[in-house]
Amino acid sequence: MKFGAGESVLKILDRFDGLGGTNTTEAVRRFYKEHDRVLIVTDEQATYHYHGDPTEQVPAAVPVYTWNLAGYRAGHGASGEGNRHVFGGLSDAAFRMVQLLEAGENADWPWAAPDTVRG
């Protein structure tokens, strides 16, 4: 799937249709290449029983952020445990949550320039 720099994430997602079931675990296993964080956009109805928790494919020290698009109560992994986070819904501004959570881990204020906080 090709996309342009600065293209809306929502517009890209509109191109996905009729792809069948979700094997999130295999996707994470296949495409995770020692990234510093992982972002998953899914309906969270992964085939967990057969493939395991998708977030377990990523080392515990690496943050995983999941956007649950369908709003199902039960999802594929825990949220709020360690550095695993799940959000409901998606907008172009949703990915700002990554920056806010990671800045909060360092006790930075999101509106302050990084150098002014640590003085």
Tell me the DSSP string of the chain: ----TT--HHHHHTT-----S--HHHHHHHH--S-S-EEEEE-S---HHHH--GGGGS-TTS-EEEEESS--SS-SS-SSBTTEEEEES--TTTTHHHHHHHHHHTT--TTS-HHHHH-
Residue-level pLDDT at 37: 94
Per-residue pLDDT of the chain (119 residues; tens, 9 = 90+): 677 888 888 788 777 766 556 788 888 999 999 999 999 888 776 555 557 788 888 999 999 998 888 766 666 666 777 889 888 888 878 888 888 888 776 556 667 666 654 44
pTM over 0.75: no
